[in-house]
Amino acid sequence: MKDLYVSWDEYHRLVEKLALIIHESGWTFDAIVCLARGGMRIGDVMSRLFDRPLGVLFCSSYRDGGGMTRSELTIGEHLASARPLPGPRWLLADDLVDSGETLVQVMPQIRARFPQAEEIRSAVIWRKGQSVAEPDYYVEHLPTNPWIHQPFEEYDHMRAVDLVARYGTLGRR
């Protein structure tokens, strides 16, 4: 099980491929719910490409061990959106299904909280072999369950002051 390192260019190509897979399926949906934080970029792109409203549901399970150890899943109480999400068909977007527990726990929560969402389908970039859940749409199946290093993770260990080494000071106040 080798680690998988993903560049920004590859990440963007994978998100676009996910959109194409959804488009080619012929399924239409009324709104998108992305799981924050991993699904935020994916939800944003999907919202733009499909011209659908976006909601954000905050979830967290990788907080321990520098973000590499799974802990108890926490699901936010509220769905953030500019307006109530329309229609009965929603797309749930996240970056990956690892163990699958997030998908297993979040889907019933959304159905219980938002009964107008009669059909919810899930879309992720990566589906790991160990997952107990199967997303409706995914780009890559990873049967060996590698740890995925996504390009934005560099910010997990960086602070704003660290940017001075990269750019120097900008001299603005």
What's the pLDDT score for residue 112? Answer: 94
Summarised one tens digit per residue, pLDDT across range 102-153 is: 999 999 999 999 999 999 999 999 999 999 999 999 999 999 999 999 999 9
Domain extents in the chain: 4-167
State the fold for domain 4-167: Rossmann fold (3.40.50)
- Please tell me which residue, 105 or 67, carries the higher pLDDT value: 105
Supply 34's token pair. 């992305």
> Which band of pLDDT confidence, cut at 50, 70 and 90, is reported for residue 68?
low
Supply 71's token pair. 């802990």
> pTM of the prediction?
0.89
